[in-house]
Amino acid sequence: MSQSCSHQCDSCDQNCSERKASLKAELNELSSVKKVYAVASGKGGVGKSLVTALLASQSQKMGRQTAILDADITGPSVPKMFGVARHAQACDQGIFPEKTNSGIQIISVNLLLEDPSDPVIWRGPVIAGVIKQFWSNVIWNDVDVMFVDMPPGTGDVPLTVFQSLPIDGVIIVATPQELVSMIVGKAIKMAEMMNIPIIGLVENMSYVECPDCGRQISLFGERRLEEYAAAHGLPLLARIPINPTLADACDKGEIETFSTQFFDANLL
């Protein structure tokens, strides 16, 4: 295998020993999905699920039929943020995604477990298989935009998502800490190796606003993501502050009621 391998065997003209047939999973014959965007990060705990939920909510409010595929199998939080606790139903043709109050279609392992608090103690190949089933076995109804809440890091499971799903672009989430250049760099390089366009970067927990004077306070030190984005020719799509109202909406399952829009409508 060449050191410059992109891991995209279906579009490669080389005859190396690692060459395989297309790894793309087939979409359910009753499904229709136009665009798929992955929300990723180089590590966990930076707010991928929050950014996914905000993007989906804004997209749905703009009149696009939106869906979320929760690929973070071991740490699913999307249903909680939307207040969806019902179990997904199925028929002979596939699984029906659950819908949020505004009509966003979502699928998550927590909608399939008997008890959502049960830990998912599965090995990588099993998790990868579930993600493929979320694409192939779920009946997605006329979806204009799907956001995939990616598992953290750059290992086996994120690789499965990038290889199995037709990802049109990736949005990378980070926080303002000093280590941002290394963490974001890993996610950027993985997307580039997979030949997936990078839509831009999102800085979460960017600042907190003083309730008395309105001054923006950088709790994690000087913000560096904008410089890093500019150095790599990538747009900084949004800065999301630490906001108690937003956190409370997530805890109550009312993320769709949060009115602030952080993203440019042209992005969606």
pLDDT for 125-144, tens place per residue?
899 999 999 999 999 999 99
Q: Mind listing the pLDDT tens digit for each residue in 81-125?
A: 999 999 999 999 999 999 999 999 999 999 999 888 888 888 888
Report pLDDT for 243: 93
Per-residue confidence (pLDDT) for residue 42, from 0 to 100: 82
- State residue 152's pLDDT score: 84
Between strands 66-70 and 33-40, the pairing is unpaired
> Helix, strand or coil for residue 149?
strand
For residue 65, the model assigns a pLDDT of: 98
Average pLDDT, the chain: 88
Q: In whole angstroms, give the CA distance from residue 20 to residue 11.
A: 11
pLDDT digits (tens, 9 = 90+) for 12-63: 545 554 544 568 999 999 999 999 999 998 888 889 999 999 999 999 999 9
pTM: 0.89
Of the chain, the percentage scoring pLDDT greater than 90 comes to 59
Give the pLDDT band of residue 257 (cuts 50, 70, 90): very high
The residue among 100, 177, 99, 169 whose CA lies nearest residue 139 is 99
> What is the rounded distance in angstroms from the CA atom of residue 101 to the CA atom of residue 119?
27
Question: What integer pLDDT is reported at residue 179 of this predicted model?
Answer: 62
Q: How does pLDDT run across 200-242, given as a tens digit for each residue?
A: 999 999 889 888 888 888 887 776 777 778 888 899 999 999 9
Query: Could you say which DSSP state residue 138 is in?
Result: B
Residue the block writes with tokens 């980070």 = 174
